[in-house]
């Protein structure tokens, strides 16, 4: 089962150019095959996004512009990542609780997901998340 150590910063290629730099992402850079892309923008100061986990979805989160902080939690440990560059992102496996905080003005966050949108994949209740993880741990040991 995924744990906090499975979250990882992945650096993407950078093509430096006097006309402006370029970065790209392909399936080969990610531990999953992407099925959906969405982005978060116009976040009012002080707002918190996320506050859930996914049963199956894996994500790769890049802050394309500005900055924000991603808090990830596997039920045992919490780690906070600052995302503030467009050439790297954070990989988050399934079953990890996440919260996005401290968005800077005009920040734009791009998310690549391993699944299409499915409301039933969400776990919005933290206690439910913890008991699901306990069940999964029992199942796997």
Contacting residues toward ligand TYD, per CB under 6 A: 36, 38, 40, 49-50, 117
Which residue's CB is nearer to ligand TYD, number 14 or number 36?
A: 36
Beta partners for 97? 73
> Given 52, 94, 119, 140, which residue is catalytic?
52
- Would residue 94 show up in a list of annotated catalytic residues for this protein? no
Give me 11's structure tokens: 């650096």
| Rounded Cα gap, residues 128 and 72, in angstroms | 16
* Nearest distance, CB of residue 99 and ligand TYD, angstroms: 9
* Nearest distance, CB of residue 53 and ligand TYD, angstroms: 10
Which residue's CB is nearer to ligand TYD, number 21 or number 125?
A: 125
Per-residue burial over 46-72, b if 16 or more Cβ lie within 10 Å, else e, is eeeebeebbeebbbbbbbbebebbbbb
Which residue's CB is nearer to ligand TYD, number 29 or number 49?
A: 49
What is the H or E stretch that residue 135 is in?
helix 126-140
Measuring CA to CA, how many Å separate 14 from each of 27, 52, 125?
Answer: 16, 32, 39
CA Rg, the chain, in Å? 16
Which residue's CB is nearer to ligand TYD, number 25 or number 68?
A: 68
* Nearest distance, CB of residue 13 and ligand TYD, angstroms: 26
* Nearest distance, CB of residue 21 and ligand TYD, angstroms: 27
Could you give the residue numbers annotated as active site? 52
């Amino acid at each position: 089962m995924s744990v906090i150590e499975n979250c990882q910063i992945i650096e993407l290629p950078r093509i430096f150019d006097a006309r402006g730099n370029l970065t790209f992402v392909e399936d080969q850079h990610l531990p999953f095959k992407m099925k959906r892309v969405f982005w978060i923008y116009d976040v009012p100061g002080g707002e918190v996004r996320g506050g859930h986990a996914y049963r199956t979805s894996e994500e790769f989160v890049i802050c394309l512009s500005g900055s924000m902080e991603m808090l990830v939690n596997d039920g045992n440990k919490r780690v906070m990542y600052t995302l503030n560059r467009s050439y790297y992102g954070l990989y988050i496996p399934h079953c990890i609780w996440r919260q996005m905080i401290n968005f800077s003005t005009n920040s734009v966050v791009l998310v690549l997901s391993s699944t299409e949108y499915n409301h039933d994949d969400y776990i919005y209740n933290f206690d439910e998340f913890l008991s699901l993880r306990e069940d999964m741990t029992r199942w796997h040991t």
